Amino acid sequence: MPPRPDLPPQPLPEDKELVLKVVPMPADVNANGDIFGGWVMAQVDLAGSVLPQRISHTRMVTVAVNEFIFKQPVRVGDILSFYASVEHVGRTSIAVDVEVYAERFSDQGKYVKVTEARLTYVAIDATGRPQALPDTPQTQAWREKLLARQRPA
């Protein structure tokens, strides 16, 4: 039987930043012949860490995968694009939304959303304990930007 058709292609998000592109290989497949979900989760974790690292300039660890949705299968040879946005900057933590879009090997130029997730990262000190994010103009700017987004228009 032919595989279930994709959901319609979507425009790429304008409110998120492209943080990673990667092409899954045959070694990454599961028993169904699609890409193994754990491989996708690892890439999302890496992609999600980019913006928090840029804000914190300190070591960060993933404390939680708050939500993870596999919307459509990922296939060998897809060109995957990972888009991320910072959604919360706390005292020690930063929450990030990640969306993953696939350009199918045989249908390039169209993007189907395959995964969306929210992850939270925590800044840690040399002993592995949570530490406050640095109070830099960049951190302050993120806090103000997120507050402004919450205010009614």
Contact predicate 26/76, CB 8 Å = yes
Binding-site member from 124, 138, 139, 143 for ligand COA (CB under 6 A): 124
Query: Which listed residue (92, 102, 113, 114) binds ligand COA by CB under 6 A?
Result: 92
- Please choose, out of 16-24, 50-58, 106-114, 119-127, the segment that lies near ligand COA by the rule CB under 6 A: 119-127
Phi/psi for 60 (5° steps) reads -130, 150
Which position has the token pair 């991320």? 84
Among residues 73, 53, 58, 61, which one has the least CA distance to residue 115? 73
User: Does residue 43 contact residue 81 with C-beta atoms inside 8 Å?
Assistant: no
Q: What is the contact mask toward ligand COA in residues 127 to 146, using x (rule: CB under 6 A)? A: -x-x----------------
Residue numbers 16-55 binding ligand COA by CB under 6 A: none
Helices H, strands E: what count in the chain?
Answer: 2, 5
Choose the stretch contacting ligand COA; rule: CB under 6 A; options: 1-9, 70-78, 99-107, 117-125: 117-125
Count other C-beta atoms under 10 Å from residue 63's C-beta.
15
**Nearest residue to the partner ligand COA, using Cβ:** 90
From the CB of residue 60, how many other CB atoms can be counted at a distance below 10 Å? Answer: 20
Q: How far is the CB of 130 from ligand COA (least distance, A)?
A: 4
Q: Which stretch binds ligand COA (CB under 6 A): 2-10, 24-32, 60-68, 71-79?
A: 60-68
Residues within the interface to ligand COA (CB under 6 A): 61-64, 66, 90-93, 120, 122, 124, 128, 130
